Structure 1
Amino acid sequence: MSSVSFPALITKKRNKEELSRDEIEAFVNGIANNSVQDSQIGAMLMAMYLNDLTMRETTDLTRAMMNSGDTLSWPEEWKGNLVDKHSTGGVGDKVSLILAPALAACGVKVPMISGRGLEHTGGTLDKLESIPGFQVSVTSEKMLDIIETVGCCIVGQTKKLCPADSKMYAIRDVTATVDNLGLITGSIISKKAAEKIDALVLDVKFGNGAFLKDIDTARKLARMMVGSGNGLGINTVSLLTSMNSPLGKMVGNALEVAETVWTLQGNGPDDLLNLVIELGGELLSVAGKAPSSEEGRRMVKDTISDGTALARFCHMAKAQGVDPAKADALCAPDTDVFSVLPRAGAIKELLSRNRLCDRY
């Protein structure tokens, strides 16, 4: 669009009219280049929140947010092999730490861009940073090198990736427009689409410990995200999973890393292991790397049983800054994991001395 009237676009959405792809792109580009005022962004977000977005509007918004900044690029020979996973989050959810190396051990590439804590749940990056030396801020060139040698990496979002999303989310937070399914979809899928992946599995959680409390809302969000992902050329599948109780037995960043290692060693809790296998099986199937989800589940399970997933986790830790001796110690079967993770060790000592009980 050569000339855009942002007030006119706000008025159109306020009046419950559908925005065109060009209009959505013009608005998002205005956010990225600072030609639209914060007050206008807030007004548009409220109009979208109150009147909702159609599936087509949601996909166009997601595409525009993806294109508002840099997107990742990969060697041509990797095409068809790039996959990722996203969870809406829940208490004790450390699935990404296990699934990424397991998928890499299955022969696919996993450029996982993750986030930090949301409300009461710890984020994947926070958990990994409890490993001394683990670096989650890397350049795109370093990311390429890690994936080429390890098969997976778990890193944070750069400022140049989906910059419109960062600004929109900040304004959503102060304008009470966070919990709109279309806006949630745009925020999540735009970042995954910027990774230029071929397939994506979504873990949409519902229940007492999740952001979404009821299954009907979770189902609506899942359908919207799957539709938007597919609309952008990503083979996308979603699972609805309950979060009425914590996942696994450990809650807390360092403790969840410890449970991650135990699970990769074949000693993890059944509920956590089963979810990793289910999500991985669906992803390998939709990516065309397994003839069925059942076969995909077997492939993921085998990487944990034979130790190849643990080896990838150890290799990833070294590639992302962990001292090789510490990484080897963390993953060794006869090592006390708490001795390698200082924060987890401090909690163990506190519990052993009953200091928590002494306060009562």
Structure 2
Amino acid sequence: MDPIAVIATKRDGGELSTTQIREIVAAYTAGDVAPEQMSSLLMAIVLNGMGRREIADWTAAMIDTGVRLDLDGLTTVDKHSTGGVGDKITLPLTPLVASYGLAVPQLSGRGLGHTGGTLDKLESIPGWRADLTIDEMTAQLRDVGAVICAATSDLAPADRKLYALRDVTGTVPAVPLLASSIMSKKIAEGTAALVLDVKVGSGAFLPAVDDARVLAATMVELGTDAGVDTRALLTDMSTPLGRSAGNAVEVAEAVEVLSGGGPSDVVELTLALAREMLDAGGLGDVDPVENVRNGRAMDVWRTMIAAQGGDPDAALPTPRHVHEVRAERDGVLVSLDALAVGHAAWRLGAGRSRPGESVSSAAGVRWHAGLGERVRAGQTLFTLHADDASRFDAALDSLAEAAVIGDVEPTRRPLVLDRILAAGL
């Protein structure tokens, strides 16, 4: 296998063969292709794209560098979000869907930059651990029905290595690479059905609706071709979800939702995704609201947290320092920029600049008004949480233009913008 020939083919706009793709992905994972060579190929893919067959081959090649989990005997359905600000949906959604008897193998990740990581949030719960063996994960799925944990190192290892390279070479937001990265792990984990939450807006990897729709359709095709019942929702991420972005603050908000309260947008999206997952699992005639009201979803949450060493009754971490930002005038909240809020939470210590950095469980941002709500001069708009007070200035810079207060209530776009199904459904 000649890596230069592979690079040249894609550089010149050609199609890579199945053999070329399989060999170069395997060779890079094994350390036989230099990072600078793979960087060149990744940039050529960003610039010249890939066809459906190439993306499917690239995904299969990444899967084949590791193991596939065997979850036979369980009715499994999973969910994946492309990442956003205040996106704590996995936390209430997983136990809610599992409370109806489905098995939810939620292999999640850590945050990087302005988007939060599910594992970072859950690690704010005292004692909770993300790293489970395959045997521990499958046993918990059988006993509890729900698990949220880190992917094991032998699950699509090529993706872990390729993502680290993409992150430092400006090649993350490309549909072929995003789609194959997400779907390689989801197909390898062995789930029978998958619901994708593809974010659109300033706080998403792909701010344009058309680009997000292409990504969603590509992932639905990849899943369907691999025998996974896959569907996607396009959801708004121009405004952050809920009323908080961070780690412990988002866990607290998720527990509110499971208790029957919580912000209306978090409740709406949790229920919309739950309905899709239940339908994919053969339970399209049930209403997920019921198991929130009767407490069954909360029971699964508590059992799931305890099974991974966490104490569901323990107090969550609180910040050493708090800073309030107040409204300068009366009016209506016209817009709240998701990207700006995400950057503020990151700069407060809730996120990381590079893989492996530690994060603060207590850091984050809370906002006290939603779109279209009236505010008064002097009212608290944001509360900033940090363990290091020196972080406030950078966070305040991020929030300087985040909230726009006007005189006319804004036109709101729906939270769920579109639904993407496999051809023929």
Give the TM-score taking structure 1 as reference length: 0.87
Going from structure 1 to structure 2, the CA distance change for 1:120 and 1:27 (only over 3 Å counts) comes to same
Cross-structure match for 1:245:
239
> Deviation of residue 345 (structure 1)?
9.4
Structure 2: gaps spanning 5 or more residues = 324-361, 367-379, 394-425
Cross-structure match for 1:116:
110
Secondary structure at the aligned position of 1:343 is classed as coil
Residues 19-73 of structure 1, C-alpha deviation per residue, up to 9 Å, x if partnerless?
Answer: 2222211111112222222222112112211110111111111111112112222
> Deviation of residue 347 (structure 1)?
5.9
Residues 253-292 of structure 1, C-alpha deviation per residue, up to 9 Å, x if partnerless?
Answer: 10111111111010112211110111111122233x124x
Residue 302 (str. 1) matches residue 290 (str. 2):
yes
Structure 1: gaps spanning 5 or more residues = 331-339
Of 3, 8, 16, 1:6 maps to 3
State how far apart, in whole Å, the 1-side matches of 2:197 and 2:144 are.
Answer: 24
* The 10-residue stretch of structure 1 (245-254 or 135-144) with the greater mean CA deviation from structure 2: 245-254
State how far apart, in whole Å, the 2-side matches of 1:99 and 1:237 are.
Answer: 16
Residue 77 (str. 1) matches residue 77 (str. 2):
no
Secondary structure at the aligned position of 1:107 is classed as coil
* The 10-residue stretch of structure 1 (305-314 or 211-220) with the greater mean CA deviation from structure 2: 211-220
> Deviation of residue 194 (structure 1)?
1.2
Of 131, 134, 138, 2:128 maps to 134
Cross-structure match for 1:337:
none
Of 28, 51, 68, 1:54 maps to 51
Higher strand share: 2
Going from structure 1 to structure 2, the CA distance change for 1:144 and 1:12 (only over 3 Å counts) comes to same
State how far apart, in whole Å, the 2-side matches of 1:343 and 1:114 are.
Answer: 24
Cross-structure match for 1:162:
156
Of 24, 29, 34, 2:26 maps to 29
* The 10-residue stretch of structure 1 (242-251 or 195-204) with the greater mean CA deviation from structure 2: 242-251
Cross-structure match for 1:96:
90
Matches within 5 A, 1:257-296: 257-287=251-281, 289-291=282-284, 295-296=285-286
Secondary structure at the aligned position of 1:197 is classed as coil
Of 302, 316, 329, 1:314 maps to 302
Residue 343 (str. 1) matches residue 312 (str. 2):
no
State how far apart, in whole Å, the 2-side matches of 1:158 and 1:44 are.
Answer: 27
Cross-structure match for 1:333:
none
Of 155, 175, 188, 1:194 maps to 188
Amino acid aligned to 2:20: E
Q: Sequence identity of aligned pairs in percent? A: 43
Cross-structure match for 1:150:
144
State how far apart, in whole Å, the 1-side matches of 2:230 and 2:64 are.
Answer: 19
Q: Does the 8 Å contact 1:130/1:343 carry over to 2?
A: no
Going from structure 1 to structure 2, the CA distance change for 1:356 and 1:172 (only over 3 Å counts) comes to closer
Going from structure 1 to structure 2, the CA distance change for 1:284 and 1:356 (only over 3 Å counts) comes to closer
Q: Does the 8 Å contact 1:247/1:271 carry over to 2?
A: yes
Secondary structure at the aligned position of 2:194 is classed as strand
Of 7, 14, 18, 1:17 maps to 14
Q: Does the 8 Å contact 2:76/2:105 carry over to 1?
A: yes
Secondary structure at the aligned position of 2:198 is classed as strand
> Deviation of residue 196 (structure 1)?
0.6
Amino acid aligned to 2:114: H
Residues 281-337 of structure 1, C-alpha deviation per residue, up to 9 Å, x if partnerless?
Answer: 1122233x124xxx35x1x22221111111001001110011xxx42x35xxxxxxx
State how far apart, in whole Å, the 2-side matches of 1:53 and 1:126 are.
Answer: 33
Q: Does the 8 Å contact 1:199/1:234 carry over to 2?
A: yes
State how far apart, in whole Å, the 2-side matches of 1:174 and 1:245 are.
Answer: 27
> Deviation of residue 10 (structure 1)?
1.8
Higher helix share: 1
Amino acid aligned to 2:224: N
State how far apart, in whole Å, the 2-side matches of 1:216 and 1:129 are.
Answer: 35
Secondary structure at the aligned position of 2:252 is classed as helix
State how far apart, in whole Å, the 2-side matches of 1:83 and 1:101 are.
Answer: 12
> Deviation of residue 159 (structure 1)?
2.0
Going from structure 1 to structure 2, the CA distance change for 1:34 and 1:356 (only over 3 Å counts) comes to closer
Backbone CA RMSD of aligned residues: 2.5
